[in-house]
Amino acid sequence: MEFKIKTPKNDLTIELYSKFIKKQEIKLQRQEFIELCKKCRNYNKKYSCPPKSPDFYNICNKEGLFIVLLKINLENIKSTEYNKVQLANSILKSRVDKLMRILEKEFNTKFLSSGSCRLCKPCNLQKNLPCKHPKEMRFSLEATGIDCNFLSQTLFNLPLLWFKDKKAPDYTCVLAGLICNQEETEAIKQALSKNINQILY
């Protein structure tokens, strides 16, 4: 599925892919990711991030995940190499979160997001205070130990690409996952198509 969006300087096409995966088929590398997260400025600074985030099996109370991937080809963005990635990720993350919140409400479940929680700046964890929005805060796929590159390659044949040697990759993408049962897949796909217009702006 494709849809068009406009920014002040760019007319962009976002590609949307989706597929269900059983939880026992998901590749988990929680300890490895925790070590990587220790190098990130958000480690132990956000409730959504390690070491505060739960293990995937402690949060996934259904058969698996309905994965949604949004992708933008960066060659169509007019900007510097680094800003291409930043702009695209900002566009994709806000839209995938909006879409997944619609779906989780419709199917009475929760989703795993892309990247750390962006509801509050700074997170109350830095003030040793409780989370301001515990009902709205969502953990990311990777914060629970999920290998997102495995998901992207296995389900959609799209390896995750990164900014490297001062060059933007050909494309960038974000993933999120709705906790659900396999029998819900078709209904979720229909809801996805029905609500796609709500994330165009």
Query: Could you say which residues of the chain have pLDDT below 70?
Result: 200-201
Residue 115: Cβ within 10 Å count: 18
Instruction: Identify whether the C-beta of residue 92 lies closer than 8 Å to the C-beta of residue 173.
Output: yes
Instruction: Identify whether the C-beta of residue 107 lies closer than 8 Å to the C-beta of residue 17.
Output: no
DSSP 148-165: HHHHHHHHHS------BT
Listed by start position, the domains of the chain span 2-199
Q: Distance of alpha carbon 176 from its chain centroid, rounded?
A: 4
Phi-psi region of 26 (alpha: psi -120 to 50; beta: other; left: phi over 0): beta
pTM of the predicted protein model: 0.93
pLDDT score at 125: 96
pLDDT score at 200: 67
